[in-house]
Structure 1
Amino acid sequence: MVREVPLTAEEAFTRLTDWSRHGDHVPLTKVHAVNGGILARTGIGPLGFDDPMRIVDWDPPRRFRLEKQGRVVTGWAEVTVTPLDLGSRVEWREVAHTTGVPKAFARAERAVGRMLFSRVIDGLLRT
């Protein structure tokens, strides 16, 4: 996903890495920074799952990369921010797979992922 926004690269990067705000845009999810990474907890009460992510590349305000290391959700996310004359360009690439989802549903899984990641990026970058 690519978005061009009227924010400086520094402001866009700061918003994208305000981890606790990610949870504002993902239903039933809370997100917290933890020891060199992020932990997203999705669920209601004791029913749910953790989505731990490790920061493997960090170059503010240009890019970051996360690797999902959970038992339920695997994959990675990579975000780059490029300054423009009147703002910045944000590119968010993510591959996520939910354990137990058959390959026959891969297309639907990707579509749901795009919808969810679009909601997050748009919410975080809203001016």
Structure 2
Amino acid sequence: MTEFRIVEAVALSPEETWRRLTDWPRHGDAVPFTTVTGDTRTVVARTGLGRLGFADVMDVARWEPPQDGGPGRCRLVKRGPVVTGWAEIELRPHRGGTAVRWCEDLRIGVLPALFDRPTAWCGRVVFRRALRRLLRG
């Protein structure tokens, strides 16, 4: 598996941060060549060009929206067949705003373990950019 973490602070309430980060279709606007659909049970991210691509199907294993300025957590379990692993978004109040911790542990089934480090590096770059874009509004 390939694990990476991204931590960002934002001057938004935990509730607004949650709203922006769990608006699944907006993730498609932030990740190149990807469309995303989903709800509080299942999320599907389809990445590709034309007929060439794959679906990252995720079950929502934990859905704990922040309440009254408190923390929140969402955990997605990637069920394959191409991408497996998990992703977790955790929000905590921080200095009048919110600290966001985005962690992923993933494996792209067609790639051998030799590609774990490059996959983690690419994931960190792509998802940091996506996270910042989602938080901008």
Q: TM-score higher than 0.5 here?
A: yes
Q: Cα deviation per residue 1:51-98 (whole Å; 9 max; x = unaligned)?
A: 110000010021110000111111101111111232111111111111
Distance 1:45 1:126, change over 3 A: same
Whole-Å Cα distance in 1 between the matches of residues 96 and 53 of structure 2? 42
TM-score for the superposition, normalised by structure 1? 0.94
Partner of 2:69: none
Q: Which runs of 4+ in 1 moved over 3 A?
A: none
Give the superposition deviation at 1:99: 0.9
Q: Which amino acid is the alignment partner of residue 37 of structure 1?
A: T
Counterpart check, 1:58 vs 2:68: no
**Mind listing any 5+ residue stretches in structure 2 that lack a counterpart?**
1-5, 67-71
Say which structure, 1 or 2, has more relative contact order (CA 8 Å, 6+ apart): 2
1:29 aligned onto 2:34: yes
Within 5 A, what are the aligned runs for 1:64-103?
64-103=74-113
Structure 1 vs Structure 2: percent identity of aligned residues? Answer: 46
Q: Which residue of 1 aligns with 2:135?
A: 125
Quote the Cα distance in structure 1 between the aligned partners of 2:53 and 2:94. Answer: 41
- Tell me what 1:20 maps to: 25
Is contact 1:38-1:53 (8 Å) kept?
Answer: yes
CA drift of 1:124 comes to 0.6
Partner secondary structure for residue 110 of structure 1 = helix
Cα distance in 1 for residues equivalent to 2:41 and 2:23: 14
Structure 1 gap ranges (5+) = none
Shift of residue 8, structure 1, vs aligned partner: 0.2
